[in-house]
Amino acid sequence: MSNEPRSPFPAVRRRRFLLSAWPWRSYAHVLTTVPVGLALLIPVGVLAVPWFLLFAMWADETAALGPVLTAVLLLLGAALVGGLGPMATLPAASLERLRLRLVDSDRVASGHRTPDRPGLWAWLRLRYTEAATWREFGYVLVLSLGMLPLALLLLACCGGLALLAASPVIVAAGQGPVTMGTAVLERPVEAVPYGLLGLALTVLTAYPAALLAGAHRALGRALLRGRGEEELRAELVRVTRSRARLVNAFEAERRRIERDLHDGAQQRLVALTMQLGLARLDVPADSPAAASVAAAHDQAKQLIAELRELVRGIHPQILTDRGLAAALPELADRSALPVRVATDLPRRPPAHVEGTAYFVVSEALTNVAKHSGAAGASVTAGLAGDTLVVEVRDDGRGGADPGRGTGLTGLADRVAVMDGRMSLSSPPGGPTVLRVELPCDRIPPHPPTRPRPPSG
């Protein structure tokens, strides 16, 4: 994802702000605010006439302001605002949503809904009753009465500073002496310091222009953004929470299967192995049954070993009991390649984050051993704020491509379920670096662990 700022507020905090396009975009927005605001003053002035008359007559002590006249002015003002106000704001709001693209890289969607039935009456009724129309009306009032004066003031300051910067040229052109406060500049060399000061201040006006454009952008996103986008955000929150519940249920089911295998089938296999071992001792070595008992005993021991690997693969007990910092070195010891492990985990991440990180590292080390031709690998894990960052690096031939297999795609899907991000760097010739970032602030806390007896 690009780190470029998408609006003036974050851009103005950058050191290279003056060298970016944001000063020009901000100036363009401030300049276009003037004609738009002046054009909107006409309908706003018409809507304000009854209220202005009412206030003027109320302030005039000699004016006879009777209840009938007051009621007439109030009704006239309400009729104008309720009747003409929304109609005047609809085209202005559409224009403003386009103009906001100057200072906002994200498109602002309209909040107006489509009428359920065709016809002018259905359209008018919907427009006058939906909240988006009245939010746009409020935006037009703030733009014409608040943003327009600020834009004019800023442009006036820019014009004055531009004249100050041009003072050496004005004096050199023989346009007469230039008065700067108490100083009278008659020669161009005398105006050079004032010109340099004006040029520097003119350049620095990019910062107030960006701040004004950023405030205008925030106002526009607050009042012109549609409820449809807000509903999408709420739906996204609901989907995220339901996904977290599914992850919790999935992890709980994994733990139940692992517990049943460990406490059930594995214990029975251990008992069976012990009985076969005792029977092997009781059977004479030269008898026909000795070989069959010995083979059954060996197969039972091999099955126990495979079952333990299966249980460890479902959810390692060391990961449950001691966390990721202890599970990763144990995973590295079982790798076919030498693996260096470095962890910086002052606290345990949530259980689901630990499980995802563990299986990502396990799958990544398996891929390294099978496909990379590497002589070794390294694993690092640490907390960066509320994010668990895990990196797997190898010195193999590189060239890993998610499109040539489902392994890396499956890892990316598993990380995405946790609202995480996975990035892969694998140029030809290596090295290959797999980086996974898993947020720890959106997952429930680590569940308490239940001590279990050691396996036989």
Q: Are 351 and 341 in contact (CB under 8 A)?
A: no
Q: What is the mean predicted confidence (pLDDT) over 231-255?
A: 63
CA distance 339 to 335: 7
Structure-token pair, residue 348:
């345990």
The string of pLDDT tens digits covering residues 303-339 is 767 666 665 555 677 777 788 888 888 888 888 888 8
Paired with 436 in beta bridges are: 390, 422
- Mean pLDDT calculated for residue range 157-170: 85
Mean pLDDT of the chain, nearest integer: 77
Q: Nearest Cα to 166, choosing from 182, 157, 178, 154?
A: 178
pLDDT at 449 over 80: no
At 66, the amino acid letter reads G
User: Which tens digits make up the pLDDT trace of 43-91?
Assistant: 777 777 766 666 666 666 555 556 666 666 666 656 555 556 666 778 8
Assess contact for 324 and 288: CB atoms under 8 A. Answer: no
377 - beta bridge partners?
339, 394
CA-wise closest residue to 360 among 435, 432, 425, 255: 435
Count CB-CB contacts under 10 A for residue 44: 19
Residue 382: CB atoms within 10 A of its CB come to: 14
Q: What is the pLDDT of residue 33?
A: 92
Residue ranges covered by each domain of the chain: 8-223, 255-314, 317-439
What whole-number percentage of the chain has pLDDT above 70? Answer: 72
**pLDDT given at position 333:** 85
**Is this model's pTM higher than 0.75 or not?**
no
Amino acid at 288: P
Taking the C-alpha atoms of residue 420 and residue 350, their distance in angstroms, rounded to an integer, is: 14
Q: What amino acid occupies position 431?
A: P
Nearest 5 degrees, angle CA 352-CA 354-CA 357?
A: 110
Tell whether the model's pLDDT for residue 419 goes beyond 70.
yes
CATH topology of domain 317-439: Heat Shock Protein 90 (3.30.565)
